[in-house]
Structure 1
Amino acid sequence: MKIDTRSIGKVLGTPDAWRFVLLHGDDSGLIREYAASLTKKAAGSLDDPFRVSLLARDDHPRFDEEATALSLDGGRRVVWVREGTDGLATATAAVLDSPCNSLIIMEAGALPARGKLRKLAESRPDSASIGCYPEEGRALEASVRRMLEEQRVRITSEALGWLVGRLGADRAGVRNEVEKLSLYAGENGELTLEDVLVCIGDSGSASVDDAVFLAMEGDRAGADLALERALSEGANPVAVARVTLGHISRLRRVKAEIERGQTRAEAMKTLRPPVFFKKQQSFERALDAWSLAALLDLAQRTQTFEFACKQTGSMDVLLCRRHLAGIAAKAAAGRRR
């Protein structure tokens, strides 16, 4: 059965309703989180040697043996398979057609829609196929707010908007940042924009911010250095694209207000959240470098760049370096004019 986004919570909360759950897609952190949640719900813990069998890629030959074994304490066994491939489809189908009642949880990467594992999971009523892809926009905002609520921490809308625009695409990275913020705020605390800037400002997300701001003002050398720092700290090229789109959107908003007759200072005051005071000069230099039409064209090219990064097998880091270099070159030319 193919599970849509709205029904994922029900699947994770009712492991007894399923015999096979396939977790596939591009977000390895989200896949691992779902697998761990389902395993804990079904077996009570992640490391019970009598009820949980964890099979890495080298352990795949033991799949039949583990999937058909009986639990020594009478509870239901969980067979948690990592790095699943279509090569396991035949063995999985055989186990599902047998009388054994183990729950098979299989992690896989990006699988083709017509692949054997996906066809198997989507065609059977006792099986679930869950696509795990990087969240963005409102979906990511909702997830971050929910994670913070689990820690009894509140966050202002201004702080949440800034944070979401700078988080990476991988769920594990998002959760790490949320946990850091939760520790800073403390139980029943509230995070403001200033709090988030203090906590996240020295991480890879700050390097991404620096790289985008410097590129947009035409500083090629500075943008290159900041980007390499961000990449070395684990930044994702898709996150770079999203920060770039957010920066372009804010520049366009200010440009539009100026064309309507407002002064630059007045137009910049309309931004929420406001431009961080350390970035104001860089923001204004970018305003000098780009016209409204050029910003619209750059937004479209950045969306194309983001889409290219998400393609299977794409050289996303190379595309990222090339895209920011092109932005810096065009900005420098715009400022000279």
Structure 2
Amino acid sequence: MIFYPKNFDIVSHQIKSDKLYGIMFHGSEKGLIDYYVSQVQKILELPVRKITYSEDFALSETLNALSFFSTKEIIIITGVNGNITKEIAQTLKTQTHNFPIFIADDLAPSLKQLFQKQANLALVPCYPESAIDLQLIVKRYLAGKGIEPKALEYLCANLNSDRQFLYSELDKLLIYCNDKDQITLEDVHEAIVPMRNVSLDQLIISFVKGDLKNYLNDIECLLHNNIPEMLIIRSLVKYYTNLYTVKLHTKAGMSVDEAMKLLKPPVFFMYVKHFKEFVATLNCTSIFNALKLLTAAEVKLKSTGANVKNIFENLLLNNYEKNLLITYSANM
């Protein structure tokens, strides 16, 4: 069966009721996937083992293997692609000893169809959410408190769908407004912007401009304030993806303003000027190559013990070496 993130409470209930044999998460919103995988782990309270998907690996043996250290395990299977074999399909139609969580970027039709049709399997697509979905999530989380329309709009424009980050920021807002019945735009500015979002936006602008000094200062500040390094990378990826999207639309004849209206969430009004400057100055090739560098940096952060600061510093320097960035005058 297919469940969307906003209906994940149903998935949680089915896991607790022992009605699900496995879950497939797929899509481009890695923050959502990471969050919901962590929620499944909390529900089951089992040790976790990670493996990489292969069409010829013995799934049945893996999912029914007994552990020396616990009665059951969560088996997280990453890199899911390709079509499903009969053996894998048959295994997933029955309840296995261990609980499988599959994670895919692009899902083959046969796998997607299997998880959609089987009542005991859950398919959870994780893609960027609409402004309306984010509003519902924020309102639900802030239940019991009123919120001004402008404050809600600001939150949805500045908080992304990475649940760990989103809920952390909303918790901070709730603490700040503990004795208030109505949350105002001023409350949101005071509770959230100074610590995180402004700094994150400033870092992105410094990176695109190639402003090494301010970029490194922003990195230092964000890491000092315990901003997850993966959030920093993914925010940069999201920004460049937005630039690339707008560039493609303008090449097809759309105006910049029209193309920007298609972005979800929209560019916050304080940074529209910078965004338009970057759209006008950068070309599609440089944006695409920057995205490749950012993706490689994300993989390095996940898979190595390299110094985080060095990774971020080299990221900008590599952009310079490849002539991917536009040089801006000091007074711009």
Gaps of 5+ in 1: 48-52, 72-77, 250-255, 257-272, 276-282
Deviations 1:244-288 (A, max 9, x none): 979xx9xxxxxx9xxxxxxxxxxxxxxxx986xxxxxxx8xx97x
Are residue 171 (structure 1) and residue 166 (structure 2) matched?
Answer: no
Match of 1:270 in 2: none
Distance 1:82 1:229 in 2: 33
Distance 1:238 1:311 in 2: 12
CA contact (8 A) 1:208 1:240 kept: no
Are residue 64 (structure 1) and residue 55 (structure 2) matched?
Answer: no
Distance 2:171 2:317 in 1: 28
Size of the aligned set, in residue pairs, is: 274
Match of 1:131 in 2: 125
Residue 220 of structure 1: which of 211, 220, 224 is its match?
211
Match of 2:149 in 1: 157
Are residue 82 (structure 1) and residue 88 (structure 2) matched?
Answer: no
Are residue 106 (structure 1) and residue 98 (structure 2) matched?
Answer: no
Match of 2:142 in 1: 148
Q: Return the index of the structure with the highest Cα Rg.
A: 1
Distance 2:215 2:151 in 1: 28
Match of 2:220 in 1: 229
Q: Which secondary structure does the structure 2 equivalent of 1:205 belong to?
A: helix
Match of 2:47 in 1: 54
Deviations 1:37-95 (A, max 9, x none): 5677xxxx543xxxxx433228x97631459xxx9xxxxxx863335455998886454
Q: TM-score, normalised by structure 1?
A: 0.56
Assess, with a 3 A threshold, how the Cα gap between structure 1 residues 81 and 300 changes in structure 2: closer, same or farther.
Answer: same
Match of 1:253 in 2: none
Report the CA distance between 1:141 and its aligned residue: 3.3
Amino acid at match of 1:135: E
Are residue 329 (structure 1) and residue 321 (structure 2) matched?
Answer: no
Amino acid at match of 2:171: E
Assess, with a 3 A threshold, how the Cα gap between structure 1 residues 101 and 309 changes in structure 2: closer, same or farther.
Answer: same
Distance 2:165 2:96 in 1: 35
Q: How does 1:9-20 map to 2 (within 5 A)?
A: 10-15=10-15, 18-20=20-22
Q: TM-score, normalised by structure 2?
A: 0.57
Report the CA distance between 1:106 and its aligned residue: 0.9
Report the CA distance between 1:177 and its aligned residue: 1.2
Residue 297 of structure 1: which of 262, 280, 294 is its match?
280
Q: Calculate the aligned-residue CA RMSD, in Å.
A: 5.3
Distance 2:194 2:26 in 1: 33
- Of the structure 1 ranges 171-180 and 20-29, higher mean CA displacement relative to structure 2 is found in 20-29
Are residue 239 (structure 1) and residue 243 (structure 2) matched?
Answer: no
Report the CA distance between 1:126 and its aligned residue: 3.2
Distance 2:213 2:156 in 1: 24
Q: Which secondary structure does the structure 2 equivalent of 1:23 belong to?
A: strand
Report the CA distance between 1:105 and its aligned residue: 4.8
Q: What's the % identity of the aligned pairs? A: 19
Distance 1:125 1:57 in 2: 25
Residue 177 of structure 2: which of 171, 185, 199 is its match?
185
Deviations 1:294-318 (A, max 9, x none): 576369969x949974999455664
Assess, with a 3 A threshold, how the Cα gap between structure 1 residues 54 and 105 changes in structure 2: closer, same or farther.
Answer: same
Assess, with a 3 A threshold, how the Cα gap between structure 1 residues 128 and 140 changes in structure 2: closer, same or farther.
Answer: same
